[in-house]
A and B are shown apart, each in its own frame.
Chain A
Amino acid sequence: MINLSEFFSDYTLRNVSLGALILGFGSGALGCFALLRRQSLLGDAVSHAALPGIVLAFIISQSKLSLVLLAGAGIAGLVGTLFILGIIRSSKLDADSAQGIVLSVFFGLGLMLLTWVQKLPNASQSGLDRYLFGQAATIVESDLLTMAVVEGVALLTMLIFWKEFKLLSFDPGFGTAIGLPRKVLDIALTGLIVVAIVIGLSMVGVILMSAMLVAPAVAARQWTDKLGSMVALAAVFGALAGLAGSVVSASIANLPTGPVVVLILSAISAISLLFSPHRGLLSKILRRYRIQEKTT
């Protein structure tokens, strides 16, 4: 294992763990809204849909600056989301078919573009591949700064519109009735979730990103019934898993960061699902057993 002084002196490890921490914190917090609004798999769809955006941004700008590529990812993610919402609203298909179509077709388009980029003469595009599976080790200080600023803005927006987003998540009908612009809020909140997803792409990759949203929120939901504490708890779970995951993966050779973080998050959620005091499966079984005893 790595001791503390080594941790702060190792440049890569410090970057990776800080990045994972920031990412876990933000996606944990925003993931709660995705979970409550039954959009858990939106993350999966958006992150896959981001791929063509990343490649297109590279083709157009010819730069590998993470900010440019992330902007492309964000735009493609939003377009994908709008497609999903449009399909749900104006056809008889439901959310999960719409998500599945957007996810797989956008991803296919991304692959097509990727093979096209690979044939370009200046195709030093190895940087694009990392968005597929995420490569935490390639994160440099400027990426870190970008992540921190964007994530900070997203979280600040969440706090400013806290009341509105809360109402939208629990009782959208009432929200509309008292005159809140539901569509605008809807797109704003989804946009924030898209931002959280896009930031994580270079860390954990397209495929595992959805877990970074869902798992902390699922775990936090088990421990509390209040939105405020749920969001805080999910952010802490996400940050802890990010930190722990990057340290563990750094101490064993060839262990990729993203999957380790996801597995730690899954473990946290599994423990929460089983053992949390009120909603946990174990306490439910015990309660049923006790009632059975009393009545017989």
Chain B
Amino acid sequence: MSLEIIVIAALVAAACAIPGVFLVLRRMSLMSDAISHSVLPGIVIGFFLAGSLESPLPLVGAVVASMITVVLTELLYRSKLLKSDAAIGMVFPAMFSVGVILVSLYAGNIHVDTDAVLLGELVFAPLDRVNFFGLSLAKSLVWMSVILLVNLVLVTCFYKELKLATFDGGMAQSLGFRPVLLHYGLMLVVSITTVGAFDSVGSILVVAFVIAPAAAALLLTDRLSTMLVTAVAIGVVSSVAGFFVAHSLDLSIAGSMATMTGCAFLLAFLFSPKRGLLSRIFGTWRTKTEFAIKMLLVHILHHEGNVEAIDECRPEHLTEHINWSQGFARKVVKRSLDRGLIEIVGTMMVLSRQGRDGAREAMEY
């Protein structure tokens, strides 16, 4: 039972991460939020038309409703009356409101629970089973496998086109590709994935699976293909980790998995070797010290052999003349000594041969 839940969660994470990478790169992350909120009215209306949740109509309705949101947002943005964020912020609350109103007006007649749509409950996912070539499998397991497979096939087939349109839309257009078509195609993929995922993890947490692993991957690599693989891996690992945390503490599984994707992102944000916050801070600090050492060498070279050299080349003088703090000055002098760039003769700092070369090199620029 719990193995099945883990597999479903991993499938959801993998399926969401693939379109997520393109959303993050195309700066449209929040479209996934808009899409996932628009699912509700579609499900309700589909349910009215079909009369049961068993038929595929509610799911079709959900996809249609989210595409309506996509088109309306795009139209509002195209009208140039609104910026893209305001356009998103206008459309999906209205859609969601329609959904909530429909649910509450006809709550007696339908079994759509707003909580269930929004928050999902992974524990119940294995209860709904289908027969698949004689095997009894959870319905969402089959669904998510199909969606993941489709996403994989689409990315492989349209890899070149997606890459080009994502990084250079103008070029793609001039080469005769249709970026608009690709945009709507991508949105359709996102909405189908969202609809497939919402009944296991809920429509709000889908957003976490779409955006967070992709954003973390963006901080870890510069290659699109590596990014896709990394995002899928991060998504799968955090969903499995989230399951075990939730299981051992008996908490909401979906909530804990979303929190784990957040933790994964935080780790990447802090510790990514190239783009992490720490490596940035360390890099700035190192550049500053390197520059200070060069400055010290040039300073000594400048005064070398002058009358005032005795005064200017004292280590203590640095705080007065170059306005370094005492600690910083001491550190710079010590580093230069350690590297054999300068020597201390009496009270004076003198350039070694290596140091003189360094100073000349610095002045070449």
Q: Check A199 for interface membership: any CB of B closer than 8 A.
A: no
Q: Say yes or no: A41 contacts B100, CB within 8 Å.
A: no
* CB-contact partner of A108 in B210, B250, B254, under 8 A: B254
Give the docked Cα–Cα distance between A93 and B29 (Å).
Answer: 10
User: What 1/0 mask marks residues of chain A from 63 to 101 whose CB sits below 8 Å from any chain B CB?
Assistant: 000000000000000000000000100111111110111
**Number of B residues, CB within 8 Å of A:** 60
Give the docked Cα–Cα distance between A254 and B108 (Å).
Answer: 10
Tally of A-B Cβ pairs under 8 angstroms:
196
Minimum Cβ distance to chain B for residue A120 (Å): 12
User: What 1/0 mask marks residues of chain A from 190 to 224 whose CB sits below 8 Å from any chain B CB?
Assistant: 00000000000000000110110111011000100
Q: Say yes or no: A273 contacts B262, CB within 8 Å.
A: no
Q: Say yes or no: B262 contacts A109, CB within 8 Å.
A: yes
* CB-contact partner of B81 in A94, A116, A281, under 8 A: A281
* In the complex, chain B residues whose CB is within 8 Å of the CB of A259: 96-98, 100-101
* CB-contact partner of A100 in B33, B81, B82, under 8 A: B33
* In the complex, chain A residues whose CB is within 8 Å of the CB of B256: 108, 112
Q: Check B189 for interface membership: any CB of A closer than 8 A.
A: no
Q: Say yes or no: A215 contacts B97, CB within 8 Å.
A: no
Q: Check A27 for interface membership: any CB of B closer than 8 A.
A: no
Give the docked Cα–Cα distance between A290 and B32 (Å).
Answer: 40
Interface of A is mostly: helix
Give the docked Cα–Cα distance between A112 and B119 (Å).
Answer: 11
* In the complex, chain B residues whose CB is within 8 Å of the CB of A14: none
Please judge, given known A-B contacts A254-B105, A279-B81, whether A97 and B27 are in contact too, CB under 8 Å.
yes
**Number of A residues, CB within 8 Å of B:** 60
Q: Say yes or no: A101 contacts B262, CB within 8 Å.
A: yes
Q: Say yes or no: A110 contacts B93, CB within 8 Å.
A: no
From A32-40, A144-152, A180-188, the one touching the partner chain is A32-40
User: What 1/0 mask marks residues of chain B from 328 to 343 whose CB sits below 8 Å from any chain A CB?
Assistant: 0000000000000000
The 5 sampled A-B contact pairs (Cβ below 8 Å) are A101-B208, A104-B207, A214-B93, A255-B105, A263-B94
Residues of B at under 8 Å CB distance from A? 24, 27-30, 32-33, 37, 76, 79, 81-83, 85-86, 88-90, 93-94, 96-98, 100-101, 104-105, 107, 114-115, 118-119, 204-205, 207-208, 210-212, 215, 218-219, 246, 249-252, 254-259, 261-262, 265, 269, 275, 277, 280
